[in-house]
Each structure stands twice: as structure tokens, then as C-alpha cells.
Amino acid sequence: MKPLLHLKDIIVEFGGQRLLDGAELSVGAGDRLCLVGRNGSGKSTLLKIAAGLVEQDGGTRFAQPGATIRYLAQEPDLGGYATTRDYVEAGLNPHEDPNRAFYLLGNLGLSGDENPATLSGGEARRAALARALAPRPDILLLDEPTNHLDVRAIEWLEGELKSSRGALVLISHDRRFLENLSRVTVWLDRGRTHRLEKSFASFEAWRDDMLEKEDTERHKLERRIAAEEDWVRYGVSGRRKRNVGRLDRLRGLRTERREQIRQLGNVKMEAAEGSGSGTKVIDAKGVAFAYGEREIVKDFSLRIHRGDRIALVGPNGAGKTTLLKLLIGELAPQKGNVKLGQGLLMAQLDQNRSKLHPEQSLAAAVTDGSGDTVMVAGKPRHVMNYLQDFLFTPQQARTPVKVLSGGERARLLLAKLFATPSNFLVLDEPTNDLDLETLDLLEEVIADYPGTALLVSHDRDFLDRVATQIVLAEGDGRFTEYAGGYADMLYQRGDQAPVRPEARKSVPGAPAEKRARASVPKMNFADAHALKVLPEKIAAAELSIVALEKDLSEDGLYARDPKRFADLSGRLAEVRGQKDADEERWLALEMAREALETQSD
């Protein structure tokens, strides 16, 4: 069957350099493609060529006559329209119901009466997304559609796109969004495209395998690649392998945080905190704040300890930014109090992102023009070496900021942020405009960060990978703590997705709530018994591990009795493996128990 849209041998040059060098893209009826690649690799340019908005320097573009193609730009222009509804209705096909514009805008958090000239960047993108969806196009080209959407809107958009009959081409940094929607993955790498006939869920393992095979062939042919390029491209899979250990540590932090939440208000907990003074970063008690009669934060208490990774989650307009400002001392509570720990050094990344001087080099931007050394975690590092950690080559380090793509600028701002001496990170929507490799990097840096992190994000996969605790905006000024990441929070709520504040006003016992309660599994006798005995089993395993490690540390044991050394080593690995499995089962059972208690309240 002939494709609806076909790009072949596409070439695009900028300043004598080829951004695209023989790239291809084929879209058939009903296809679900995701287009992935590093920031600056040309994804947005290729999508603009597909939309017919940019002319390629070489190659051909074919679109079926009469096919409706709609494109969502990262920076849309809404000029010439009186209201957002007028703007969206102008994108409808003739004879189509104008109420569709109202339906789309409403689900994206807009009324339709907004003046386009006064919209924020996020509101303009949501209006542009509604216009792209409005005519139910044959092909929908979406460049970062989840930016500036809250979790509810993202999940609504997933449902809308799944029910669409048209073809879809997506660029997004949101892994879960890509996994849920894609059937084909197109990887843009060094100007060329590679097609995988599977969803994004299979992409990263496939990409790493391709790079390993290429590396083998490269050695066979004795081709040489510059060391910094080698690191940038091949370091990604290495970081992912190292992250396995970090995920294990994250599970431990989440277990510890769950115990803290369960014991809040307990005398023993207060005593432990008193004796461990200095570990407390923020102590908020009975905090309240309102704008007029509208309660934004109501009777909220939270203790943040050193090493916590706390994520504020909820709908746009639910008060997350206000709560963030209250917690870090930028806003004074109208009731209650917030105490900040002593010696707090805060580094902050807000939604607007710091300004970068366009003529300044990347190296100068990171060092503020003060030499070629940065202090990172108390240790001096050469700026060229440090920038390679953020996937910039030494050649790029000397170039001006103005040549960077939007995603590369976001990456540079992160490099600048982490070069700032701090023990407390405040990150407001840090994943916006980042490619998947940079997200891997950000997750790694947050995992290794020795201090505390407080963040706001709508990226569900990111939250599952980094957060030790979720603080969810429930609506009407109420915020609730949940130990773990986003998926853990949903489980504890009975698999309920976060909803908008107004939706919480529905009558208790509505069908959706009953279904949520019914979805919580009942705990049988075996599970209840395991929940009781597993802590004792885990404690016994820890004692065994200590004893085995002591035996293995005997001087000269390996040379004197290699068989005993091997037996002890095998036994140690076995005990550790069983302990890890028992801890995982205990955590799952404990979450199920708490979910049952919550539903029965």
C-alpha cells in the first residue's frame, strides 16, 4: 500500500555541516510512529519537512493528494485571532461541529475565551495542540505535545490519540507516553534514520545492541572516532547499567520513607529526630495559604530529611508552585510555620529557566567567565571534562550559546546548576525540552547527588525513577504524602489516577470510586502471615551476611582454603539474593496492606 507521506534521502545543511544526510520517513494509514534521537540531531527539522513547512536541500517529499496533515510546533503563532476558541475553530474541517473546539480546549485546561496575545507559553502550546487535534487529521505530527501538560491532561491525550484513526508521528521525552502510543520507532542518529518495527519499549535495548555491533565492526575496519564522540554515544548504555544499582538504593530509600510516614506523630520518631539534629532539611507544620477566599494550601505538614527526593505532583493550577515557594521560604505561610535546616545551600531551576548570554561560550557560561575550572561536589574539575558529562564535546564547549538547540540549552542550564555549590536542589519541571539521553543523565546526577532534592514534574516515568516520596495535590488545598514513585502512589490510592480539583467534588461512592475500591486486592492468610514473619527473616539474613563477610575477611583464607572461600562466597551471594527478594515482597505486601486500610477508612 502506498504511504500517505514519504520522505526519501532527505539532506539538510547548516553552515556547511549536514544535519540530515539521507534521512527517510514513511507514514501509512493508521501508523503510530515515534521519532527519537539526541537534542540537536534534527528531529524537529525532519518533522517540519514532513509538514511541508521547511524545504530540504536534497531528497524528495511525497504526500497523498487530499490527505489532511496537522503539525504541532514547539513555538506556535496564535496571532490574528480574538480568542483561543476562534483559533481552534479555524483549524476545523468544513461542516465539522464547532463544539469540538470547546471539548478539546476544556480538556486541555482552557475556556476558549482567552486572548491569545496574553497567553503564557504553556497555554499557547495547549491551544495549538487543540487546533492540531480539531480536524481529526489523516496524519498528526506532534513535537513534544506533553510539555506544559499536567498528568491528567497527558493521560486524557493518550486516550484521545489511541481512539484516533489517523496516523501519528511523535517526538517526546516522555518515555511512558511513547511506550503507550507507539508501534514503530524511528531513530535519527548522525543524520540518518533507522526504523524498528516495534514500540519504544523495545528501542533502548535495540539501540544499544546496534551500537555494540557497530563498535565491533569499527574495530575490525580499524576506523577511528574521536574520544569525546565515543564517550557521548557509548556512555549512554554504560550509565544505564550503573543505574541498576542506583535503583536498588532508591528502593531502600523508599522503604525507609514509608516507615517514616507510618510513624509520624509517634514518640519514638520524635526522639530519633531530636537525637539526629542536622539531618532535618525542612519542617513544615500546619501550613496554610489562600488567595482571598480560595484556599491554595490547607493545614499541610511535611518533614524533609537529608537525602530525600520529594516530588510535588498534581493538576496545573492546584497550588504546587505556591507550596514549593512556601517550603523553600520564598513565600510566608498565613498559618503554621516552616523551618529550614541550618547551613542550607539551595540551587534552583525554575520553569522559566535562567537566562544564558547568547554570545558567551558554553565553557564561560558554566564558569561565569572565571577561568577553566568548576567546583563540583567540593572537588575542582576542568570545565571541558565537566561538560562532557553533559554530552557536550570539547569543540562545542568553545562555541557560543546562540548555536544551541532548545534541548541543548536545557542541558547546559543543568550543567550550570550542578556546578553551583549546594546541598539542596529545587527543580521545577526539569525534564522539559530534554532528550532521552539527557534524561538518563539527569536521573543519574540526581541519584548521585549527596544532598536533598525537591522537584515538580508531570513525567510519570521520571518520577518512578527518582522520587522517594510523592506529595499529591488532592484539590481544595489538600496535599497528601505517598511513599515511593508515581506508580507506587497510584497503587496506594487503589489505582486511581490524579484528578483535577473540581473533579474531586463528586459524590463519594460514585461508580468510578467503587471500581477503584474493588481493584484493591484482598490480603489472604498467606500474605498476612508473610507480612508478619518477613521482617524477622530479613533481620536474620542481615546478621548472616555480617557473619559471612567477617569469615571471608580472614587474612590468607583464599590461599589457605580456596574451597571454603568459594563455599562462603556462594553462600553470601545466596543469602543476599534471598534477602533482596524478601525485601521486595515485604514492600509490595506493605503497600497492599496500607491501600486496604485507606479504602476501609
Report residue 401's pLDDT band, with 50, 70 and 90 as the boundaries.
confident
Condensed to tens digits (0 to 9), the pLDDT of residues 446-487 reads 887 888 999 998 888 888 888 889 999 888 889 998 888 888
Spatial separation of the C-alpha atoms in residues 87 and 84, rounded to whole Å: 5
156 burial class (0-12, 13-18, 19+ CB within 10 angstroms)? Answer: middle
Q: Where are the beta strands (DSSP E) in 214-291?
A: 280-291
576 burial class (0-12, 13-18, 19+ CB within 10 angstroms)? Answer: middle
* pTM of the complete model: 0.64
Q: Calculate mean pLDDT across residues 329-341.
A: 91
Instruction: Say whether both 195 and 281 belong to one domain.
Output: no
Task: Considering only residues 406 and 575, tell me which one the structure prediction assigns the higher pLDDT.
Answer: 575
What is the Cβ-side half-sphere exposure of residue 38, based on CA atoms within 13 angstroms?
24
Which residues have a Cβ under 8 Å from the Cβ of 516 and sit 6 or more positions away? Answer: 493, 494, 495, 496, 599
Instruction: Say whether both 454 and 591 belong to one domain.
Output: no
pLDDT value at 556 more than 80: no
When the pLDDT of each residue in the chain is averaged and rounded to a whole number, the result is: 79
**What's the confidence (pLDDT) of residue 138?**
93
Instruction: Say whether both 474 and 580 belong to one domain.
Output: no
Instruction: Say whether both 540 and 509 belong to one domain.
Output: no
Report residue 59's pLDDT band, with 50, 70 and 90 as the boundaries.
very high
pLDDT value at 316 more than 90: no
292 burial class (0-12, 13-18, 19+ CB within 10 angstroms)? Answer: exposed
pLDDT value at 225 more than 50: no
Instruction: Say whether both 472 and 595 belong to one domain.
Output: no
**What's the confidence (pLDDT) of residue 133?**
92
459 burial class (0-12, 13-18, 19+ CB within 10 angstroms)? Answer: buried
Q: Calculate mean pLDDT across residues 497-518.
A: 36
Q: Calculate mean pLDDT across residues 54-58.
A: 93
| Cell matching residue 384 | 571541558
What are the start-end ranges of the H helices in 328-435?
362-367, 383-389, 394-397, 406-418
pLDDT value at 510 more than 50: no
Instruction: Say whether both 294 and 333 belong to one domain.
Output: yes
Instruction: Say whether both 76 and 123 belong to one domain.
Output: yes
Helix (H, G, I), strand (E, B) or coil at 412: helix
The per-type count for the chain, helices as H runs and strands as E runs, is: 21, 20
pLDDT value at 381 more than 50: yes
Q: What is the CATH number of the domain that holds 102?
A: 3.40.50.300
Q: Calculate mean pLDDT across residues 162-180.
A: 92
CA distance from start to end of the chain: 58
Write the DSSP string, 63-101: E-TT--EEEE-SS---TT-SSHHHHHHTTSPTT--THHH
**What's the confidence (pLDDT) of residue 58?**
94
The answer to which of 157-161, 189-193, 514-518 has the lowest mean pLDDT is 514-518
Condensed to tens digits (0 to 9), the pLDDT of residues 4-20 reads 999 999 999 987 788 99
Report residue 260's pLDDT band, with 50, 70 and 90 as the boundaries.
low
Is residue 223, in this structure, part of any structural domain at all?
A: no
The answer to which of 228-237, 307-316, 466-475 has the lowest mean pLDDT is 228-237
Helix (H, G, I), strand (E, B) or coil at 173: coil
**What's the confidence (pLDDT) of residue 60?**
95
**What's the confidence (pLDDT) of residue 396?**
85
Is residue 239, in this structure, part of any structural domain at all?
A: no
Condensed to tens digits (0 to 9), the pLDDT of residues 409-440 reads 878 888 888 888 888 889 888 887 777 877 88
**What's the confidence (pLDDT) of residue 218?**
59
Q: Calculate mean pLDDT across residues 362-391.
A: 81
Report residue 517's pLDDT band, with 50, 70 and 90 as the boundaries.
very low
**What's the confidence (pLDDT) of residue 592?**
72
Last residue within a domain, chosen from 486, 518, 550: 518
Is residue 9, in this structure, part of any structural domain at all?
A: yes
Q: Calculate mean pLDDT across residues 333-354.
A: 81
Do the strands 69-72 and 335-340 form a parallel or antiparallel pair, or are they unpaired? unpaired
Instruction: Say whether both 315 and 343 belong to one domain.
Output: yes
pLDDT value at 85 more than 60: yes
**What's the confidence (pLDDT) of residue 246?**
59
Last residue within a domain, chosen from 152, 185, 212: 212
Instruction: Say whether both 341 and 455 belong to one domain.
Output: yes
Which residues have a Cβ under 8 Å from the Cβ of 531 and sit 6 or more positions away? Answer: 523, 586, 589, 590, 593
Is residue 109, in this structure, part of any structural domain at all?
A: yes
Please state the domain count of the chain: 3
Is residue 222, in this structure, part of any structural domain at all?
A: no
Spatial separation of the C-alpha atoms in residues 458 and 583, rounded to whole Å: 29
Task: Considering only residues 376 and 231, tell me which one the structure prediction assigns the higher pLDDT.
Answer: 376
Spatial separation of the C-alpha atoms in residues 430 and 416, rounded to whole Å: 13
Report yes or no: 3 and 25 within 8 Å, Cβ to Cβ.
no
Task: Considering only residues 538 and 167, tell me which one the structure prediction assigns the higher pLDDT.
Answer: 167
pLDDT value at 272 more than 90: no
| Cell matching residue 112 | 476558549
Instruction: Say whether both 158 and 264 belong to one domain.
Output: no
% of residues, the chain, pLDDT over 70: 81
**What's the confidence (pLDDT) of residue 495?**
57
Report yes or no: 366 and 415 within 8 Å, Cβ to Cβ.
yes
**What's the confidence (pLDDT) of residue 528?**
73
Instruction: Say whether both 325 and 272 belong to one domain.
Output: yes
Is residue 233, in this structure, part of any structural domain at all?
A: no
Last residue within a domain, chosen from 185, 212, 239: 212
- Per the structure, the complete domain to which residue 549 belongs is given by 525-600
Do the strands 346-349 and 294-305 form a parallel or antiparallel pair, or are they unpaired? unpaired
Scan for cell 515511593, then name that residue.
Answer: 484
pLDDT value at 276 more than 60: no
Q: What is the CATH number of the domain that holds 579?
A: 1.10.287
Instruction: Say whether both 336 and 402 belong to one domain.
Output: yes
**What's the confidence (pLDDT) of residue 253?**
66
Is residue 399, in this structure, part of any structural domain at all?
A: yes
**What's the confidence (pLDDT) of residue 343?**
83
**What's the confidence (pLDDT) of residue 522?**
53
Spatial separation of the C-alpha atoms in residues 460 and 224, rounded to whole Å: 40
Q: Calculate mean pLDDT across residues 52-78.
A: 90
% of residues, the chain, pLDDT over 90: 27
Is residue 221, in this structure, part of any structural domain at all?
A: no
